Amino acid sequence: MARTRVSPLAGGLAAAVAVGLAVTCWVVFPPEVAGRAIAARPDVDLSLPWPAQGQASAEVQGLGSLGSHGDRRPVPIASVTKVMTAYVVLKDHPLGPDDAGPQITVDEQAEAESTSPDESTAPVRAGRSLSERDLLALMLVPSGNNVARLLARWDAGSQEAFVAKMNREAAALGMTDTTYTGASGVEDSTTSTAVDQLRLAREAMKNPVIRAIVAKASLRIDGVPGAVVNTNTLLGRNGVIGLKTGSSTAAGGALMWAAESRGGALILGVVLHQSPGGTPGQGLRAALENSEKLIAAIQRELPAATR
């Protein structure tokens, strides 16, 4: 068979196309070096004080990515898990911005777990009815693990069935490096990445009920003694309006956060795996401190970068 001859011009064009495709693939699917992904160029390039350890990712809605930093492998996320729990509950049982929702009866298991010394809980009593909205607040604000599991049982019949829903939602959102194994985050086997949790933050902040609850520094709920205080102590500083803390020995400290820029844009970020291996309190302090530095720098640098 005669060999087909390719002209120099055609060969040059083919090579150029190949190079172009390679560059495109490098940007869209950045390569990995020793398990660490080389981040694609951010849409808004700022000089930011990214945490020295763990991983972080941030973006400005309407402008784009501010970049990601650190190891991209899945790590335990502790109570940041509860954002997905709230997302699934509200998808199955939607509430209007001012709706309280159906009354839910506290079961004996939720009361028994409320006195656990080994995890964060909310003081609920068996037989008492609380609204869906109040239970979401008890889960998200003081980070009640027992309430997260109560909501899971109410929604799906069992925590196991609810977790299957969580993982289906994660897959639907493109959270390919996320695995949920419980509704509260107490299990170290619930793992994710800052990039994946940032995808969830975008969706969570679209829900007016989640957005209103996570902005509360404290609140009072009928039938619950005293004020319920938010574990996110950054609220009200540097424009912070949410979202959710997490801490455990394995996870260290974690924070999914939302802030409003001086121009009104929504800034979202996630910081994970801060000071793991120590006490949960030490990890949470590190996550809050490092997040505050990052948020303050974004608020300071963003106006000049977007002129």
Three-state DSSP at 76 gives strand
Cross-strand pairs, 65:
59
> Is 82 annotated as catalytic?
yes
Q: Of the listed 57, 68, 82, 120, which one is catalytic?
A: 82
Q: Where are the alpha helices (DSSP H) in the chain?
A: 8-28, 82-92, 108-113, 132-140, 145-156, 159-172, 194-204, 208-214, 280-305
- Rounded-to-integer distance, Cα 208 and Cα 304, Å: 30
Contact yes or no for 66/48 (Cβ under 8 A): yes
- Burial of 188 by CB count in 10 Å (0-12 exposed, 13-18 middle, 19+ buried)? middle
- Rounded-to-integer distance, Cα 196 and Cα 76, Å: 13
> Is 218 annotated as catalytic?
no
Q: Of the listed 79, 192, 247, 275, which one is catalytic?
A: 79
Three-state DSSP at 157 gives coil
Q: Cis link prior to 243 (omega < 30° from 0)? A: yes
Q: Of the listed 57, 68, 114, 143, which one is catalytic?
A: 143
> Is 79 annotated as catalytic?
yes
- Rounded-to-integer distance, Cα 40 and Cα 67, Å: 8
State residue 96 phi and psi, 5-degree precision.
-75, 170
Report which residue type is found at 68: S
169 C-beta neighbours (distance < 10 Å), count: 18
Catalytically active residues, by annotation: 79, 82, 143
